[in-house]
Structures are given as structure tokens and as C-alpha cells.
Amino acid sequence: MTSGRGLSRQLKQTIILLVLMALLFSLLLNACGSDSQSKQEAQQNKIALDRLIAQAQDIGVPDTFLQPILNQESQLVTTTAPFMLLSDQPDKDYYGNIAQRYHFLSIQIKGLEAQVTQQLGYQAALDMQNFESILSQRQSQGFIEAAAFVDQVTQDQTMLEQARYPKDFLEVSSNARNATQALSLMGPANDQLTTLHNAIQQLDDSGLDVSALQQQEQDDQTIFHNAIDAENFQQLIDQIKAQVQAITTLSTQAIPSVGATKLNQFSDNIEQMKRYQIDTSSYQKQLLSDRAALNDARTINDYLTISARIDNDIEAARITMLREEANYLLQHYNQEVNNWGASHQYHDQFDDQVYQLDYEYDEAHGFGSELDTALKNARTADDYQAVIDRINTFTLHLKAMETDESDTTPYTQPHETDLQLIQHYKLSNSSVIVVSLVEQALRFYEDGKLIKAFHITTGQYERPTPPGLWQIFVRQSPTIFTSWEPKGSAFWYPDTNITYAMEYREDGYYFHDSWWRQDYGPGTNFPHQDSGGDQAFAGNGSHGCVNMPKDMAGWLYQNTGYGTPAIIY
């Protein structure tokens, strides 16, 4: 039996043990959680970071840009504070470091928003330029279907002007790219319609009943006229290809007649080649060989094989013909530039030098070298056709300059050359900037009516202004121009404040104010003494931009927008 004294001693020992354990537990709690302020700061910084991430996602910053930051945050979340008995310093250091890391990621998010907004804004402007460029091209090619995209250009331009966030610019880019793709497919779809029509015509010429096929063609034409996006055009292209394939199968019964038609086309191509003094002897031999093979054909496979061979021969002849046509046109273009420039020169009394008036078009100083490069790099029939189209455009603008040089109409009145180019590009119902290089004048037309005219200064002899049809795709007010040339170069200039800038061609070609000039008009694109006294920068033409007084640049900025066309000749 236990005595009362013994029981009391045991109880006392138990109580002392419990008190010691409570004290130890308290110490542990204080050591592990004593730095609640650092922990709270880390939690607050994480909440702030999550809020910024949500905001960035909400305004449309793509996840691909955010992912590195999200990964770093995930790594921070998975870390744990160190466990140190009787000391809270490691705890403080841990949460202090975590708080700083979250704060640094927040700073990165803010910088990322600005960077992404700028990048996407610039990309949206380029996408709009591509959209407007191909739309203008399709309009000049006579595609009435392109009219369906005119309203979209206006809407997208308005969206671009009002855009503030990445998602706004992404929407503009998406719209512009989809429209550009649709307009790009408009040409191939039209080519497929032509192929279908020719295939049907071949069967018709062979005496076959093609009424059902003609109805198919009419239905395809309706789809083509109503197509509004890339998917519509691609589906139509695929559909027509299938129809052409079906017609090819059907045409095997009329292949001899079709083959003869192709041989006639091949023969016509050979005759056209002779106009460019091309040696056609090898093509003549191939024509005779193809004709003999067609006569010897007996089975469907024979006919299909020789038909494919004739197609290849026709394409090879077409490439040769287009290449020689491009060479022929370029040679005559360069001769015209040199001959007219030799007889139309500017004698500069300032430096006693003589300059060709059409230097913007020549190979040595102007943009004629771009034609040489394009022809050198051409490989396919489409490449050569594009070069031919570009040479014809340069020739058109050169001829306009030649006519304008002898026109005595005051620069403040409408010029016939302006109106002819406006009509050629089907811009009679829109606002158009027209720059006459030989007059050093800018005229602004609206619906074919002259609204404003003033003198300007264009690119100097070594840095000409590019002739052509352009569209404004960047608008900045104000901005700072920074030289691309190294300091010490003849074309270097210090960072320059510009109030109104409108870029019309990539690589930094702008319409803009030039506060350092006092004089504009004829002769100011050549070396001269500016009345303002600034010989270093005002005593010659620009570096390719179109310079104008500040008040005129302000007027032009207020009366134009994204996509406003500019004709320079």
C-alpha cells in the first residue's frame, strides 16, 4: 500500500516535468514563428505579384512571356523556412529573401507589360501595312472582291489608333493577318478558276457536253465573289482542284484534242520568245518530240504522261520568256533613266556640280539597283512576273516625272500627272498624298480634288527618296529620331526631336517636320546655302525622308491616318 507522502512526492515530480515541457514548447514556438513581420511582408508581396500577373493576363500579355515569371513563383512557393531551435534569425533571413524575390518579380512584370505592349504595337502596325499593301495590290489588279476588305481596313485602323493594351494590338494583328492571308489566297483562287475555265473550255472545244461543268464553274465564281476570309478561299481552292482532277479524268477521252491545244500553246510561247531574240532551237526540238509522242500515244497513261510533259515544257518556256522579258524591260528602263538624266540635269551654283534630275531612279544612287537585285534573285515564273510588274511601276513613275518636269502648271494647282497616277491606282475616291520629286512639292488630294499644296525637301543625291506607291503605317507625335550611321559618318546626326512623323516605307522613310530648315522647294534637295544658316544639316537634301515646315507637317498629320496612300514620283 502506497503511503500519502510517497504519492505527494510523485505528484510533485509530475507537475515539475509538465511545467518544463510547457516552457520548452513555448521556446520552440517562439523560435519557429517569432518573425511574423517578415513572413507577413513576404505574403503581401506574393499577393501583389499575383495581382500584377492577373492584371497582365487580363490586358493580354501572352503566357509565353509570363511563363518564366510563373515558373520562378512556383519555385518560391515550394520552398520552406528552415527549422532552427532557439534562434529566429534564419527564419527572418528566409522570409526577407522571399519578400525581395516576390518584389523583384513584380518589377519584372511591370517592365514586361511595357515591353510587350511596345513590341505588339509595332507588330500590329507592320501587319496593318502588309494588309493595306496587298489590298492596294489587289485593287490595282482589278479584283472587285477586294472592296469587301476596305471597311475592315478602316475599322482596324481605328482599333490601332485606340489600342492601349497587348490584347488590343493582338486583335488588330489577328484581324490584319487573317485579311492578308485571305487577300493572298484570292490570287491563287482566281488562278484555279482560270485553270478550271480553261479545262472546261478544252472539253468544250473537243465537242463534249460541258453544261454541268459550266454550272459548277458558275457556282465557284459565286463562292469566290462572296468569300471573306482565308478559310473560304482555301476551301474553294481545294474544291476547284478536286473538280479539275475530275475533269482531267473525264478528259482522257478527249486527250488528243487537249494535247493538241497544249502543243499550240507551247508553239505560241516559242513565237513570243523570238520577240526577245531568244534561241528557241532546243524548244523547237522539244515541240517536235512532244508532237510525235502525242501521235504515238495509245493508252490513257500514255496521254496523261505526254500531257504532263507538255505542261512542264510550257512552264519551262514561260520562265525563259518571262526572264528575258524582265531583262529586256530592265535594260530599256535603265537606258531611259540614263538618257533622260543626261539631257535633264541640275547645275548647282553652290558647288558648281551637275546632277541628274532623275537620280532617284538610277542604279548608282537611286532605287534602280533594287530592280537588278530582284531580277538576280528570281527563280520561278511568279518571281519574274513580280519583277516585271515592279519594273513597269518604276517606268510609270519615271515617265510621270519626265512629263511633270516640262509641265508649267504652278505647283499650287492640280497636275495632270498627279491625276493620272491617282486614277491608275484607283484612288480617285480617297485621300492621297502626291509628292513630285522634280518640283519638290507635295499636293494633297481628296476624292480627286486638290486640298493643299506646299513645298518640301526630299532625299539628297546620295540618299534619295524612294519613288512608288506607299501607305502610312506608323504615326508618332512627338518622337525622337536616332541616326543609324556611326558618329563620324557623313550621314550621322545627333538625336533629333520631331513633332510630327509619318512612316511610309520600312527602314525609316518618313514624312516629318524639319525645324532646322528655313528653305524648301526646287533645288533644296541638292547642296545649297540655307537662309537659316545651318549648313551642316540644312544645306542639302534629307536622308530619304520628305521634310516640310512644322505647320505643314502638323496639317498633314491631322488630315491623314494609318493606311493613307502616298504616290511619290
Lookup result for grid cell 494647282? 413
Residues 330, 348: Cα–Cα separation, whole Å = 30
Instruction: Enter the C-alpha cell of residue 182.
Output: 485571305
- Whole-model pTM: value is 0.58
Rounded distance, CA 121 to CA 179, Å? 18
Q: How far apart are CA 390 and CA 358, in angstroms?
A: 17
Q: Report whether 368 contacts 361 (CB < 8 A).
A: yes
Q: Digits of tens for pLDDT over the chain (569 positions)? A: 444 454 566 777 766 666 566 555 554 444 444 457 878 888 888 888 889 889 888 888 888 888 888 888 888 888 877 755 555 677 788 888 888 888 888 888 888 888 888 889 999 999 999 999 899 888 888 888 888 899 899 999 999 999 999 999 999 999 999 999 999 999 999 999 999 998 888 667 655 678 888 999 999 999 999 998 899 999 999 999 999 888 877 766 666 777 788 888 889 888 888 888 888 889 989 999 988 988 887 766 677 688 788 888 888 998 999 999 999 999 999 999 999 999 999 999 999 999 999 999 999 889 999 999 999 999 998 899 999 999 999 999 999 999 999 999 999 999 999 999 999 999 999 999 999 999 999 999 999 999 999 999 999 999 999 999 999 999 999 999 999 888 888 889 999 999 999 999 988 999 999 999 999 999 999 999 999 878 788 999 999 999 999 999 999 999 999 999 999 99
The DSSP bridge partners found for residue 124 are none
> What values do phi and psi take at 252, rounded to 5?
-60, -25
Alpha-carbon distance of 115 to 17, in angstroms, equals 64
Neighbour tally for 6: CB within 10 Å? 9
The residue with cell 487573317 is 178
Q: How far apart are CA 3 and CA 277, in angstroms?
A: 136
The answer to whether 183 and 140 are in contact (CB under 8 A) is no
Specify the amino acid at residue 17.
L
Domains of the chain: 185-324 (no CATH), 407-568 (2.40.440.10)
Question: What cell does 452 get?
Answer: 493643299
Rounded-to-integer distance, Cα 517 and Cα 501, Å: 16
pLDDT at 1: 44
**Cell digits for 136?**
492596294
Cα 406 to chain center, whole Å? 37
Instruction: Give me 74's grid cell.
Output: 512556383
Q: Give me the helices (H) in 206-299, please.
A: 211-226, 230-250, 255-274, 281-296
d(CA 435, CA 566): 8
Q: Which three cell numbers stand for residue 49?
A: 505579384
Q: Which of 102, 105, 81 is nearest to 93 (CA)?
A: 81
* Beta-sheet pairing, 431-436 with 565-568: parallel
Q: What is the rounded distance in angstroms from the CA atom of residue 386 to the CA atom of residue 268?
A: 22
For the beta sheet containing 474-476, the strands, ordered from the edge strand earlier in sequence to the opposite edge, are 474-476, 501-505, 509-513, 546-548
What backbone phi and psi angles, to 5 degrees, belong to 368? -60, -25
Q: Are 149 and 178 in contact (CB under 8 A)?
A: no
pLDDT at res. 376: 95
Is 395 within 8 Å of 336 (Cβ atoms)?
yes
Give every CB contact of residue 102 below 8 A, 6+ residues apart in sequence.
42, 45, 46, 48, 49, 73, 76
**Identity of the amino acid at 141:** Q
Q: Where does residue 152 rank: exposed (0-12), middle (13-18), buried (19+ CB within 10 A)?
A: middle
Rounding to the nearest 10 degrees, give the CA dihedral for residues 475, 479, 484, 487: 160
d(CA 335, CA 332): 5
Strand boundaries in 449-517, DSSP class E: 449-455, 468-471, 474-476, 479-481, 496-498, 501-505, 509-513
Q: DSSP code of 334? A: H
Confidence (pLDDT) at 17: 67
